[in-house]
């Protein structure tokens, strides 16, 4: 069945005039109504040294007390702490996440200070990308944690940016919308402030740091954005305490020499910051994060993985081919690794076997040696035994001879000879005793048998 | 559509985020200004809406489109004079930019001449389904590019108006087949065409029979019950669901009635005023499509129908184990209608099924 579709070309869009009220001018309202029912997400990252006033400024901006404990200066490294809060104003629900850099600028070696921040921002982009690439995904339900605005707190030295600031901002400018602000601005005098601001801006420009540009392409906001941009970076003072000024209470900081009012435009730029950040450009910040920073991250990540839209001949790449190729490559690598591991395993086994064989041989040798020594000793003992037997035999012979003599001498009836014989016997006996002891001693060192001489 | 511009679809109010404690604000901060910012941005970018009209020849589709948008979208073809009846179903699109009170709307109307006109109308819905899926495919391809456009042009069909001929009996097999297949892929709004040939009682009876038919064949037309967000929505939508299908009459000529200039059809026995609720239900259709539910139509198309299509497409070509990672998209088959046996992935059905009586 043939299907012919008349495709409208983009250049031929005709503007049609309506002859009556159709009613689609309610479209923006329809859109807005839907958005309010879901609520908005806004995530702010505060980068600045410990004690520079990040938490206080957040409290002042949103007119509330966010629970947090002040950080110590002993942190071993920079870590990011994220807290989420739900704010509601009339019918708008805002899910606000404030991410704090704890320990920034406290270390002695600050080379790696920016790394945890960049990793955190990338991790949020990665999470969103993963969700977007899932097959069964739920993007409309997704709690967007990507950082929409980064407030960079510059210490009020009055001179220029610190090198840590420059390095960190340079690393962050392509990943997030940076809004630099001068913190604790009540420590700088007015004339110094102007010089400080222009010094900072010129340094940023000369180092190529791209801070967030307030949009000037829509007539409604162009004017206010343009006027405000002149005052960048905003010199802010934060305070949650209220001081009586005139006949009302206002947020201010009380000094012996005067009161710094937070919401007085002559005293500091807090009002300007609030205008720009919340009342005028919140939506634009979110849009920039999504359409510029996130798309950049996504493109880099996918290109890193080896995917392209078109090959050098600008024919659209089949993603399947790329994927197949990558997969084969990966499997090949796996196989190679497996082979290597197997070979190593075989080699190790062989080595171990050789070692064990060596040990076995040694043991055998030892055993042989021991056996030999034992046999030698046995032979020695046997020789001794023979000697002793010979001595016993000779003794027996001597005894027999002596008895003969005795019987001969008995006729002479000389007790003397008997005594002599007894003496001889006794001495002989004692000799035998000694021999016995000796033989026993020797036999104790030998093994099996005990020669017992009994007379 | 980027997620910031697009308003969220109907879904459970609990987002998938961790517990965040509510905070009391002690003074005015100005957060609600974000609504104005949103509005300004939306108006600057302009809106898009794509509507498709389906029905047999002579049911007044072109006239209805002209009446809805109060302009000559295209010349309504008089019967018999438009040339020989097309042998095949041809889809014909025309795009206009209309503006009202600063709101720019890029409107695309797709007509389907030849639908149901043949002797053998078997599979006459295939070209239509193919066209709709082709638009989804285009959007999907754009979305999968590495270097994406800032604003992906949305040419997906947001709403399909189906014209039921005023037989007075019940839905015909062709209607039932078509509606069954299409309501899974796109938002379908059925209307009784040329309702001036039915009396009020006949209209009501016809409507009830059609509703009964739809229920029997489990055809979920817009507004779908399972996407009602909360009680207010449900009440509003039930009222609409009660009157679906609207009995409409289209007219693009103006006549004088009681000193007023009204759009209507002049007949020997009277003038049928199009915008008079007593005469026909055109205002209801117009309000539904344009004044109150236009954004909702777009949202459901994007969040439900397009996602369903995407899931099917990605599952088809995904040979390897699934998981978050780059997608393996096989080349799209030429004319791929969604398989009819597939039930619609209705994410919130389990939330609302117990409320469905």
The CA-based angle B113-B115-B118, given to 5 degrees, is: 110
Interface contact B28-A63, CB threshold 8 A: yes
Q: Do residue A15 and residue B97 have CB atoms under 8 angstroms apart?
A: yes
Could A23 and B47 be called an inter-chain contact, meaning their C-beta atoms sit closer than 8 Å? no
Residue of A nearest to B145 (CA): A309
Query: Which residues of chain B make contact with A133, given a CB cutoff of 8 A?
Result: 324-327
A79-89 and B159-164 strand pairing: unpaired
In a 10 Å sphere around its CB, with 0-12 CB exposed, 13-18 middle and 19+ buried, how is residue A267 labelled? buried
The Cα–Cα gap between A370 and A259 comes to 100
- Could you tell me which of B265, B268, B270 has the C-alpha nearest to residue B252? B265
Q: Which two tokens stand for residue B57?
A: 């020849």
Distance CA A63, CA A66 (A): 9
3-class DSSP assignment, residue A86: strand
CB contact under 8 A, A27 and B105: yes
To the nearest whole Å, the CA of A166 is away from the closest chain B CA by: 30
Q: Cis bond leading into B223, ω under 30°?
A: yes
CB-based burial, B304-313: b 16+ in 10 Å, e otherwise:
bbbbbbbebb
The answer to whether the CB of B34 falls within 8 A of the CB of A282 is yes
- At a CB cut-off of 8 Å and minimum separation 6, what does B257 contact? B264, B271, B273
**Residues 6 or more apart from A101 whose CB is under 8 A from it?**
A45, A46, A47, A48, A78, A79, A80, A116, A117
| Beta carbons of B325 and A133 less than 8 angstroms apart | yes
> Helix, strand or coil for residue A183?
coil
Which residues touch B147 (CB under 8 Å, ≥6 apart)?
A299, A309
Tokens standing for A434?
Answer: 């000694």
Distance to chain B for A26, nearest Cα, Å = 6
**pLDDT tens, residue by residue, B84-96:** 555 567 788 888 8
- Out of B24, B34, B296, the one facing A64 most closely (by C-beta) is B24
Query: Residue A308's pLDDT is what?
Result: 64
**What's the Cα-to-Cα distance from A139 to each of A43, A275, B1, rounded to whole Å?**
17, 30, 12
Spatial contact of A4 and B91, defined as CB atoms under 8 Å apart: yes
Q: What is the DSSP letter of A77?
A: S
Two tokens, residue B160: 């399909």
The pLDDT of residue A347 is 95
Cβ-contact B170, B35 below 8 angstroms? no
Flag if B30 and A278 touch (Cβ within 8 Å): yes
Record: contact B290-A303, CB cut-off 8 A = no
Nearest CA in chain A to B146: A299
Task: Quote the DSSP letter at residue A213.
Answer: P
CB A447 within 8 A of CB A384: no
Are B336 and B315 contacting, i.e. CB atoms less than 8 angstroms apart?
A: no
Q: What is the DSSP letter of A64?
A: S
B327 or A444: which leads in pLDDT: A444
The structure tokens listed for B21 are 């404690």
* Cα within 13 Å of Cα(A201), Cβ side: 15
**Are A318 and B95 inside 8 Å of each other by CB?**
no
Preceding omega of A223 cis (within 30 degrees of 0): no
- HSE on the CB side for A212, CA within 13 Å? 32
pLDDT at B317: 67
Chain B residues 168-197 with a CB less than 8 Å from chain A: none
Burial of B200 (0-12, 13-18, 19+ CB in 10 A): exposed
DSSP state of A184: S
Structure tokens at B31: 């957060």
The CA angle B112-B117-B118, to the nearest 5 degrees, is 120
Model pLDDT for residues B254-275, shown as the tens digit of each residue: 888 888 888 888 888 888 888 8
Confidence (pLDDT) at A442: 63
Q: What DSSP state is assigned to residue A17?
A: P
Among A286-300, A307-321, B66-80, B143-157, whose mean pLDDT is lowest?
A307-321
Residues of B numbered 211-270 whose beta carbons fall under 8 angstroms of chain A's beta carbons: which are they? 229-230, 263
Task: Work out the number of other CB atoms within 10 angstroms of the CB of residue A93.
Answer: 18
DSSP 8-state assignment for residue A452 = -
- The average pLDDT across B199-203 equals 90
- Whether B38 sits inside 8 A of A283 (CB atoms) is yes
pLDDT at B84: 55
For chain A, helix, strand, coil in percent to 5 are: 55, 15, 30
pLDDT tens sequence across B119-141: 888 888 888 999 999 999 899 88
- Distance from the Cα of A329 to chain B's closest Cα (Å) equals 15
SS3 per residue for chain B = CCCCCCCCCCCCCCCCCCCCCECCCCCCCCCCHHHHHHHHHHHHHCEEEEEEEECCCCCCHHHHHHHHCCCCCCCCCCCCCCCCCCCCCEEEEEEEEEEECCEEEEEEEEECCCCCCCCCCCCCCHHHHHHHHHHHHHHHHHHHCCCCCCCCCCCCCCEEEEEECCCCCCCCHHHHHHHHHHCCCCCEEEEECCHHHCCHHHHHHHHHHHHHHHHHCCCCCCCCHHHCCCHHHHHHHHHHHHHCCEECCCCCCEEEECCEEEEEEEECCEEEECCCCCCCCHHHHHHHHHHHCHHHHHHHHHHHHHHHHHHHHHHHHCCCCCCCCCCCCCCCCCCCCCCCCCCCCCCCHHHHCCCCC
Please list every residue in chain B whose beta carbon sits closer than 8 Å to the beta carbon of residue A5: 90-93, 131
Q: Using CB atoms, which residue from B34, B40, B69 is nearest to A218?
A: B40
Helix axes B126-144, B173-182, angle to 10 degrees: 10
From the list B247, B221, B248, B225, the residue with the least C-alpha distance to B237 is: B225
Residues 6+ apart with CB under 8 A from B83: none
- The answer to whether the CB of B7 falls within 8 A of the CB of A31 is yes
Q: Which residues of B touch A278 (CB under 8 A)?
A: 29-31, 33-34
Could you give the strand order of the β-sheet that contains B260-267, starting from the edge strand earlier in sequence?
B254-257, B260-267, B270-273
CA distance A16 to chain B (A): 5
Number of C-beta neighbours around residue B240 at 10 A: 17
Tell me which H or E stretch contains A231: none
Cβ contact (<8 Å) for A133 and B327?
A: yes
- Of the CA atoms within 13 Å of residue A374, those in its CB half-sphere come to 8
Question: How far does B76 lie from chain A, in Å, by closest CA?
Answer: 16
- Omega into A233 within 30° of 0, i.e. cis? yes
User: Looking at the predicted structure, is the pLDDT value of residue B357 above 50?
Assistant: no
Residue B64: CB atoms within 10 A of its CB come to 27
Cα–Cα distance between B357 and B355 in angstroms, integer?
6
Considering only CB atoms, A307 lies closest to which of B95, B146, B324, namely B146
3-class DSSP state for residue A275?
Answer: helix
Residue in B7, B94, B335 closest to A31 by CB: B7
In this prediction, residue A345 carries a pLDDT of 95
> A16-37 burial by CB neighbour count: b if 16+ within 10 A, else e?
beeeeebbbbbbbbbbbbbbbb
Minimal C-alpha gap between A213 and chain B (Å) = 16
Strand order in the sheet with A234-235: A79-89, A92-102, A40-47, A149-154, A178-182, A234-235
B71 vs A386, more confident = A386
Mean pLDDT of B286-306: 90
* d(C-alpha A358, C-alpha A347), whole Å: 17
3-state secondary structure of A157: coil
Q: CA quadruple B161, B165, B169, B171: dihedral positive or negative?
A: negative
Shortest Cα–Cα distance, B216 to chain A (Å): 30
Instruction: Average pLDDT across each block of 10 residues of chain A; the chain has 455 residues. List them in order.
Output: 39 69 85 84 91 88 79 81 86 88 85 88 92 84 89 88 89 91 88 89 91 85 86 88 83 88 87 88 90 91 74 44 74 92 95 95 95 95 94 92 87 69 76 73 56 50
Nearest to B93 among A8, A95, A323 (CB): A8
The model's pTM: 0.72
Residue B345 confidence (pLDDT) above 70: no
DSSP SS3 for A279: helix
Nearest CB to B294; choose among A27, A136, A327: A27
Q: Strands A14-16 and A79-89: what pairing? A: unpaired
């Amino acid at each position: 069945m043939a299907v012919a579709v008349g495709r409208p070309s983009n250049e031929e869009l005709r503007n049609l005039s309506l002859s009556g009220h159709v009613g689609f001018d309610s479209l923006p309202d329809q859109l807005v109504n839907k958005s309010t029912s879901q609520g908005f997400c806004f995530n702010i990252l505060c980068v600045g040294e410990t004690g520079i006033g990040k938490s206080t400024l957040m409290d002042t901006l949103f007119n509330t007390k966010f629970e947090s404990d002040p950080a110590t200066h002993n942190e071993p490294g920079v870590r990011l702490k994220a807290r989420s809060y739900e704010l509601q104003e009339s019918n708008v629900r805002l899910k606000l996440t404030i991410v704090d850099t704890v320990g920034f600028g406290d270390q002695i070696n600050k080379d790696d200070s920016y790394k945890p921040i960049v990793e955190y921002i990338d991790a949020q982009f990665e999470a969103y990308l993963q969700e977007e690439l899932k097959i069964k995904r739920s993007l409309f339900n997704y709690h967007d944690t990507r950082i929409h605005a980064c407030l960079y707190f510059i210490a009020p030295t009055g001179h220029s940016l610190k090198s840590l600031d420059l390095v960190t901002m340079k690393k962050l400018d392509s990943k997030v919308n940076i809004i630099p602000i001068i913190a604790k601005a009540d420590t700088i005098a007015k004339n110094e402030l102007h010089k400080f601001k222009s010094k900072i801006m010129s340094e940023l420009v000369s180092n190529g740091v791209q801070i967030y540009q307030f949009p000037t392409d829509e007539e409604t906001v162009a004017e206010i954005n343009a006027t405000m941009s002149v005052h960048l970076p905003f010199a802010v003072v934060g305070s949650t305490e209220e001081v009586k000024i005139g006949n009302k209470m206002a947020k201010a900081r009380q000094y012996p020499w005067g009161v710094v009012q937070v919401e007085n435009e002559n005293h500091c730029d807090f009002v300007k910051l609030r205008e720009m950040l919340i009342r005028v450009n919140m939506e634009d910040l979110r849009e920039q994060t999504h359409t510029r920073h996130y798309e950049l991250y996504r493109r880099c990540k996918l290109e890193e993985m080896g995917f392209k839209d078109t090959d050098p001949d600008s024919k659209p790449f089949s993603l399947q081919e790329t994927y197949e190729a990558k997969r084969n490559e990966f499997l090949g690598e796996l196989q190679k690794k497996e082979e290597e591991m197997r070979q190593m395993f075989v080699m190790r086994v062989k080595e171990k076997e050789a070692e064990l064989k060596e040990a076995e041989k040694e043991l055998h040798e030892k055993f042989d040696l021991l056996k030999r020594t034992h046999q030698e000793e046995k032979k020695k003992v046997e020789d001794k035994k023979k000697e002793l037997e010979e001595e016993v035999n000779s003794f027996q012979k001597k005894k027999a001879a002596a008895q003969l003599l005795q019987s001969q001498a008995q006729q002479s009836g000389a007790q003397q000879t008997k005594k002599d014989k007894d003496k001889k016997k006794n001495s002989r006996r004692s000799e035998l005793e000694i021999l016995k002891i000796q033989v026993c001693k020797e036999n104790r060192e030998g093994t099996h048998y005990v020669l017992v001489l009994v007379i | 559509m980027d997620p910031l511009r697009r308003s969220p679809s109907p879904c459970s109010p609990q987002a998938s985020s961790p517990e965040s404690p509510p905070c009391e604000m002690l003074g005015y901060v100005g957060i609600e200004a974000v609504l104005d910012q949103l509005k300004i941005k939306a108006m600057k970018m302009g809106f898009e809406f794509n509507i498709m009209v389906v029905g047999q020849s002579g049911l007044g589709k072109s006239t209805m489109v002209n009446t809805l948008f109060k302009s000559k979208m295209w010349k309504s073809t008089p019967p018999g004079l438009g040339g020989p009846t097309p042998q095949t179903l041809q889809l014909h699109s025309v795009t206009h930019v209309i503006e009202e009170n600063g709101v720019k709307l890029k409107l695309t109307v797709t007509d389907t001449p030849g639908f149901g006109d043949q002797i053998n109308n078997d599979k006459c819905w295939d070209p239509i389904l193919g066209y709709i899926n082709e638009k989804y495919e285009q959007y999907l391809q754009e979305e999968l590019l590495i270097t994406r456009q800032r604003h992906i042009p949305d040419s997906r069909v947001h709403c399909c108006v189906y014209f039921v001929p005023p037989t007075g009996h019940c839905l015909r097999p062709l209607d039932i087949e078509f509606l069954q297949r299409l309501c899974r892929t796109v938002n379908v709004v059925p209307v009784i065409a040329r309702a001036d040939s039915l009396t009020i009682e006949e209209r009501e009876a016809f409507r009830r029979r059609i509703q009964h038919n739809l229920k029997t064949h489990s055809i979920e037309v817009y507004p779908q019950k399972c996407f009602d967000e909360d009680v207010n929505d449900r009440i509003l939508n039930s009222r609409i669901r009660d009157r679906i299908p609207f009995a409409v009459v289209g007219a693009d000529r103006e006549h004088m009635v009681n000193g007023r200039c009204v759009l209507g059809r002049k007949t020997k026995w009277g003038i049928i005023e199009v915008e008079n609720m007593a005469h026909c239900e055109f205002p209801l259709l117009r309000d539904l499509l344009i004044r109150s539910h236009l954004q909702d139509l777009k949202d459901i198309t994007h969040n439900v129908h397009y996602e369903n299509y995407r899931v099917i497409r990605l599952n088809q070509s995904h040979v390897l184990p699934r998981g978050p990672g780059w997608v393996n998209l096989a080349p799209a088959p030429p004319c791929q209608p969604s398989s009819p046996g597939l039930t619609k992935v209705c994410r919130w059905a389990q939330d609302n099924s117990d409320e469905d009586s």
